[in-house]
Chain A
């Protein structure tokens, strides 16, 4: 089994299938947040999720922030990049410094 997974809408994650990444389609699943929980339990090391999926499973994902594995990273979907990941880095910086920076 591949150690990298990708969760998102079909158009975005489908190409990764060809690279040997395990893909899960959030738009064909009733509840994206439940899908994320299922994927997290499958012991992947890295899980890429699209911004939409992240929005709907925010709590589940931020619960893993302190753990080394699995590592969850955001990718933009085909619909465009909303800059959620850059925002996350900025939030981290604010947490660390106690003040806004860069």
Chain B
């Protein structure tokens, strides 16, 4: 597609500069896309594995909690659970991957459960200690999935930009440059013939 510009030397120079810039941008974006893709693939594999692990263990822990709940009175148990000395120590920082600012979490569970052992049974203990081991991994899973979704969005954007440059902007710039230069040389030829004609007329007189 030819851009709507005046076919003169000034435009030609301007378009040549634009083409150069577009090519450089395209190259940079392409590099960015490759790097993002490399990181993305590694992340996806890890996210998938962590998700499967967490899902499986969470199910076991929940079943065990469920059966503990069936064995004891609910109000007593809820009371037992409400008082807890467990503390979650969550450290978060935001670090860049390429131009994206993604969160990283570090999670540690400290402290003890503070319920009495009289009202509750072993299933509950098992379930809760499993959960407390699982929580840091759940946090890691959340982090990984967040990274995956943020990188995916960025990759999509980058891919669109690369494609727009590669298939629309750069070809149309090239075409326009070609159009202007043929137009200019056509004008030049026209001018030359006119001059020759004029010279001939002058010589005849």
Binding site for B on A (CB under 8 A): 2-4, 11-12, 14-21, 45-46, 48, 65-66, 68-69, 71-73, 75-76, 78, 81, 85-86, 88-89, 92-93, 95-98, 102
CB-defined contacts of A81 to chain B, threshold 8 Å? 55, 59
Q: Which of B26-79 touch A at CB < 8 Å?
A: 37, 40, 44, 47-48, 51, 54-55, 58-59, 61-63, 65-66, 69, 78
Q: At the interface with chain A, which of B13-21, B138-146, B194-202?
A: B138-146
- Shortest A37–chain B CB gap in Å is 19
| Pairwise interchain contact B153-A65, C-beta atoms closer than 8 A | yes
| Pairwise interchain contact A15-B127, C-beta atoms closer than 8 A | yes
Which chain B residue has the least Cβ–Cβ distance from A92? B152
Which chain B residue has the least Cβ–Cβ distance from A2? B88
CB-defined contacts of B115 to chain A, threshold 8 Å? 18
- Shortest A8–chain B CB gap in Å is 11
- Name, among B37, B103, B149, the residue most crowded by chain A CB atoms within 10 Å (CB to CB): B149
| Pairwise interchain contact B81-A15, C-beta atoms closer than 8 A | yes
| Pairwise interchain contact A73-B40, C-beta atoms closer than 8 A | no
CB-defined contacts of A88 to chain B, threshold 8 Å? 145, 149
| Pairwise interchain contact B128-A18, C-beta atoms closer than 8 A | yes
The 4 closest A-B pairs by CB, nearest first: A73-B142, A92-B152, A96-B155, A96-B152
Decide yes or no: A15 and B84 within 8 Å by CB, A3-B90, A89-B51, A102-B44 being known contacts: no
| Pairwise interchain contact B102-A68, C-beta atoms closer than 8 A | yes
Kindly state the separation between the CA atoms of A72 and B103 in the bound complex, as whole angstroms.
12
Given A92-B148, A95-B152; 8 other pairs, CB 8 A cutoff: A15-B131, A19-B86, A19-B109, A45-B105, A46-B90, A73-B138, A96-B40, A96-B155
Partner of B55, one of A11, A46, A76: A76
- Shortest A26–chain B CB gap in Å is 16
The answer to the question of B156 belonging to the interface, with a C-beta cut-off of 8 Å to chain A, is yes
Q: Which of B103-119 touch A at CB < 8 Å?
A: 103, 105, 107, 109, 111, 113, 115
Decide yes or no: A96 and B37 within 8 Å by CB, A20-B87, A73-B142 being known contacts: yes
Which chain A residue has the least Cβ–Cβ distance from B154? A96
Partner of A17, one of B37, B81, B90, B139: B81
